Chains A and B, each alone.
Chain A
Amino acid sequence: MTTLTVAQGWQFRRPSVIPGFGLTLGFTIAYLTLIILIPLSGVAWRTTELGWAEFWSVATDERTLKALRISFGASLIAAIINVVFGTLVAWVLVRYRFPGRRIVDAAVDLPFALPTAVAGIALASIYAPNGWIGQLLAPFGIKAAFTPLGIVIALVFIGLPFVVRTVQPVMEEIDSEVEEAAATLGANRFQTIRRVILPGLAPAVLTGFALAFARAVGEYGSVIFIAGNIPYVSEIAPLLIVIRLEEFNYAGATAIAAIMLIISFAMLFAINLIQAWSRRRYGYGG
């Protein structure tokens, strides 16, 4: 009986019929250096100009901390909301055939295509106290626009396609036999979804979550129109960076940028580790 073995050891180069290993790897490294590493190391470089004490004072500044908390907090909440409803949207698109399905499918991608400023203005006018939806919320004392809630709404909007598009293909490949097997073993439909289907989707959902989260952290255009941008309350970190830049406080701006960079990198790295672990375990990934 053969068993699947995990690749033993580490191979620098795998034999392949397609040549060009040196060329493609060289190009990839040069390209990534030019596009990602050099600009990012610029951030780190400018930050070191500050000196440790000054960096620490910028980093622990009340306004910076609040802005970072709002940015990462709102992004996290938005990403979680997107995971729940994005998975639901993917489920509906994969499992059911209904008139207008293709239109819904295409509409999911709109947040990708729309200029984010346009989205921000549209959302702000709809959720403003005199807007269509704002009007309905006002009697309950809920203010959406110009509060942190507005930020979450904007981030949910721009993050949705990431979850739907990562979960959808994996969901399409779920074998209906697996569900039937669960049913013959006596599992009711909720047990089948919770114990059989969702765990299988977890890697894809996690990828979608990471993408939506990362996108939300970096989002600027749509948020500033709906957030109200009140310092300490609804001011996001990217906006604070712009404000520092406009004050010609380049060191302060890069310091905030560096902090965002470190936090984002740490979170994405952690998510990647979880992915790698689940792939190793289940033999497939998202």
Chain B
Amino acid sequence: MDVSIQSVRKEFDGFPALIDVSLGIRSGELIALLGPSGSGKTTLLRLIAGLEHPTEGAVFFGDEDASHRSVQERNVGFVFQHYALFRHMTVADNIGFGLKVRPGSSRPSKEEIRRRASELLDLVQLSGLENRYPSQLSGGQRQRVALARALAIEPRVLLLDEPFGALDAQVRRELRRWLREIHDRTGHTTVFVTHDQEEALELADRVVVMSQGCIEQIGLADDVYDRPNSPFVYGFIGDSSTLPVQVENGQLWLQDRSIGMDARDLPEGPATLYFRPHDIDLLDGCGGCIAGTVAASRRVAGTRRVELEVGGARERVEIELPVEHPAGTNGRIAFRPKRWKVFPDLDRGAEAQPAGTHIHESSIDETELMLALTT
């Protein structure tokens, strides 16, 4: 089932939670809505489900306008973060609930419902637990039951709201792989909400990055990681380092020094340089590079994170070094990012833009200005 969200706006008591959001979801696709809390991702999911109704705009299921259909009519499977199982029902009754409440003619027989429940229990690898109560299950098992319950009604779309958010890291990884398997086997159009970028990048066909009620970028995992289209996405997905720079004469300038990076197509003026801390070339001498003294150094797993003081000791920037690099603890380091991106500063005099203060109304102009530069 294709799902299409068309210019949806949602306000709660006059406060906008979603601002002009449009999104097309292809049938059978697994999509992640990724963003920090308050970005509107859960609201968008609930709008698709019909648990909320848009202030403006429409939600289409296939060619049918579902905006004014009730939750019950939409036939969506919804999985909640805290499972929302019916505590007074056995696992089998929970799974069969959606079939049992169907009106007379379309309700399957008792045996059929039982058969379907045990089939789904097999699918979620919980066979034999039919007669347990939710309180007798672990968190991971409960979430599997919740998924089986949602699948029982043969939903047109499967929606999951931070499905693994309440589980510990190991169970989470396990369920993530398992959800992908189930999706590949059943082929349901699936949308899930998460604030965990690793989860989104690993699990989803396409990732929708959201911030402050807007969609920032839609793309494959590679797209949003390698070609982020806004400072917010660059900062939110993966590690990033930033430096305030100046674009002048087709060159990037760090205070009064050129750092040897080509910026011919960029508009002149203050801008912010973004790069990944691990994606750099270390240089010996420095004729056109970024150089700084080591201010702090931390060992993180297989690498060493070094904080450099660059220029007049005002700007700090983080890079990753091989553990055995001699300058890891002190001394001077010169480097140049391998891949990087420059976003012009919009408000004059602003320093490096922290991700949270990104201004959305201007995001369109910004996209036009943004240029991907790869050396």
A interface residues (Cβ-Cβ under 8 A, vs B): 1-4, 175, 177-178, 180-188, 191, 195-196, 199-200, 202, 281-284
Residue of A nearest to B71 (CB): A183
Q: How far is the CB of B248 from chain A (nearest CB, A)?
A: 55
* Distance A175 CA – B85 CA, assembled complex (angstroms): 10
* B98 interface residue (CB < 8 Å to A): yes
Q: How far is the CB of B5 from chain A (nearest CB, A)?
A: 18
Q: How far is the CB of B88 from chain A (nearest CB, A)?
A: 4
Contacts A282-B87, A282-B133; A186 near B138 (Cβ below 8 A): no
* B77 interface residue (CB < 8 Å to A): yes
15 A-B contacts (beta carbon < 8 Å): A4-B135, A4-B137, A177-B84, A180-B80, A181-B146, A182-B97, A183-B70, A183-B72, A184-B74, A184-B76, A186-B101, A186-B153, A187-B101, A283-B134, A283-B135
Q: What B residues does A1 contact at CB under 8 A?
A: 138, 140-141
Q: From the candidates B72, B75, B87, B134, name the one contacting A188 in the complex (CB within 8 A).
A: B72
Q: How many residues of B contact A (CB 8 A)?
A: 37
* B316 interface residue (CB < 8 Å to A): no
Q: How far is the CB of A163 from chain B (nearest CB, A)?
A: 20
Asked whether, in the complex, the Cβ of A200 is within 8 Å of the Cβ of B84, the reply is no
* B123 interface residue (CB < 8 Å to A): no
Asked whether, in the complex, the Cβ of A184 is within 8 Å of the Cβ of B136, the reply is no
Q: From the candidates A181, A187, A188, A283, name the one contacting B80 in the complex (CB within 8 A).
A: A181
Asked whether, in the complex, the Cβ of B49 is within 8 Å of the Cβ of A184, the reply is yes
Asked whether, in the complex, the Cβ of A187 is within 8 Å of the Cβ of B97, the reply is yes
Q: How far is the CB of B175 from chain A (nearest CB, A)?
A: 12
Q: What B residues does A2 contact at CB under 8 A?
A: 138
* B149 interface residue (CB < 8 Å to A): yes
The CB with the most chain A CB atoms within 10 A, among B49, B71, B82, B150, is that of B71
Asked whether, in the complex, the Cβ of A181 is within 8 Å of the Cβ of B78, the reply is yes
* Distance A234 CA – B150 CA, assembled complex (angstroms): 56
Q: How far is the CB of B13 from chain A (nearest CB, A)?
A: 14
Asked whether, in the complex, the Cβ of B98 is within 8 Å of the Cβ of A284, the reply is no
Q: From the candidates A4, A175, A284, name the one contacting B84 in the complex (CB within 8 A).
A: A175
Q: What A residues does B77 contact at CB under 8 A?
A: 184
Count: A-B pairs, CB below 8 Å? 92
Q: What B residues does A186 contact at CB under 8 A?
A: 72, 75, 98, 101-102, 153
Residue of A nearest to B138 (CB): A1
Q: What A residues does B88 contact at CB under 8 A?
A: 199-200, 202, 281-282
Q: How far is the CB of B270 from chain A (nearest CB, A)?
A: 47
Asked whether, in the complex, the Cβ of B71 is within 8 Å of the Cβ of A184, the reply is yes
Asked whether, in the complex, the Cβ of A195 is within 8 Å of the Cβ of B97, the reply is yes
* B225 interface residue (CB < 8 Å to A): no
* Distance A283 CA – B49 CA, assembled complex (angstroms): 30
Contacts A3-B138, A186-B75; A180 near B51 (Cβ below 8 A): yes
Q: CB within 8 Å of A: which of B125-146?
A: 133-138, 140-141, 146
Residue of B nearest to A4 (CB): B136
Q: What B residues does A183 contact at CB under 8 A?
A: 51, 70-72
Which 3 pairs show the lowest CB-CB distances between chains A and B?
A283-B135, A185-B98, A177-B84
Q: What A residues does B149 contact at CB under 8 A?
A: 181, 185
